[in-house]
Chains A and B, each alone.
Chain A
């Protein structure tokens, strides 16, 4: 799993690639916590390089989503494809994140 962060104006773009599962999701916690400290106005989560996700990975993303929204920030998910898309659809997160 690879995590990267880029500031684009008032938005922070996060890219998560590889495999986000019960093994790798805990590695994201420190990065997510640091991100929330910045009180981002808008998060763009780019998952175009994500090959596989499980319920633990989804839990990490949903947790971040809730906290960003609770702080008044906007949250956008882009680039979901393949197996992650199937998972997002079955958990109805495609509607929550407005994934086309």
Chain B
């Protein structure tokens, strides 16, 4: 039930300019129509685009699946998932490994019958999302918006500190996040 992700190699090579030493990407089928994509990269910004491209690919597979078509998933679903993952990557690369030797980031992108689940795992400093101050958008902030974007674009957000720390983001199919958002 395991398929090597040859399709990802062009992305890897174009993003890194060569074969990286600490990177892997795999896809496993869970059962009919369900899959998990694993991506492990160094926690530096050079690999951010690779992570967002993998999530873009996962969203494309989902949108083309029966569940995706039934749920009428739009491009907005992809935009929101990619935005959330990019901000999660930033948090780890800029803050999680601050003053530490750079460790890896592991992405587990799973498609289930009714939802997309993205786990972002790292081995750096832990933080608690609830302790992050909410930006005052009226003041036009220039930073501190990452977690706000993540919260706005996913349906569930949980965080478990540990080794690794795990940020879990869940996007349900058929839920128009923009209609239920509580950030007005």
Q: Which residues of A contact B (CB under 8 A)?
A: 19, 21-23, 52, 54-56, 58-60, 62-63, 65-66, 82-83, 85-87, 90-92, 96
**Contact B49–A55 (Cβ < 8 Å):** no
**Contact B141–A54 (Cβ < 8 Å):** no
Q: Say whether, besides A58-B145, A59-B145, A87-B83, A22 and B137 are in contact (CB < 8 Å).
A: no
Q: Which residues of B contact A (CB under 8 A)?
A: 45-46, 48-49, 52, 75-76, 78-80, 82-83, 86-87, 90, 93-94, 137, 140-143, 145-146, 148-149, 152-153, 181, 183
What DSSP secondary structure best describes chain A's contact surface? helix
One of B45, B76, B145, B153 near A23 (C-beta < 8 A): B45
**Contact A55–B82 (Cβ < 8 Å):** no
Kindly provide the distance from the CB of B132 to the nearest chain A CB, expressed in whole angstroms. 12
**Contact B143–A59 (Cβ < 8 Å):** yes
Specify which chain B residues have a CB less than 8 angstroms from the CB of A56 in the assembled complex: 90, 143
Nearest to B184 among chain A residues (CB) is A92
**Contact A66–B83 (Cβ < 8 Å):** no
Bound Cα distance from A32 to B142, whole angstroms: 15
Known contacts A52-B82, A52-B86, A91-B148; 12 further A-B pairs (Cβ under 8 A): A21-B49, A22-B90, A23-B45, A23-B48, A54-B83, A54-B149, A58-B145, A66-B140, A66-B142, A86-B79, A86-B80, A92-B137
Q: Say whether, besides A55-B145, A58-B145, A91-B137, A21 and B86 are in contact (CB < 8 Å).
A: yes
One of B48, B75, B140, B148 near A21 (C-beta < 8 A): B48
Specify which chain B residues have a CB less than 8 angstroms from the CB of A60 in the assembled complex: 142
